[in-house]
Amino acid sequence: MILDSDIINILAGQAIVDSIEIQGEDSLASIGIDSLKMVELIVALEDELTITFEDSDLDPALLPTVNAVIELVRKYIRD
């Protein structure tokens, strides 16, 4: 079972802050996830969680916060 903390740990690998400092309501920009880091984050999530995101789910406007990323991952873990 994938926990939120697992997703946050993957996020922290791309962020400029440690996982213990990351909160769900944090914007990705505030933790150092820019457009290049976003691509790296998506690849890391897919690789580490063995999931494949649909292109339509990867619009940066749909993923402004840590919680948005967690919800996206949950969508693919449930299906």
Of 61, 60, 56, which is closest to residue 75 (Cα–Cα)?
56
pLDDT at 78: 75
Spatial distance between the Cα atoms of 68 and 73, rounded to a whole number of angstroms: 9
Is it the case that residue 63 has pLDDT exceeding 70? yes
pLDDT in tens, 11-62: 999 999 999 999 999 999 999 999 999 999 999 999 999 999 999 999 999 9
pTM summary value: 0.94
Is it the case that residue 79 has pLDDT exceeding 80? no
**CATH numbers and ranges of domains, the chain:** 4-78 (1.10.1200.10)
Tell me the two tokens of residue 78.
């449930």
pLDDT at 14: 96
Backbone angles phi, psi at 34, to 5 degrees: -95, -170
Residues 6+ apart with CB under 8 A from 7: 45, 69, 70, 73
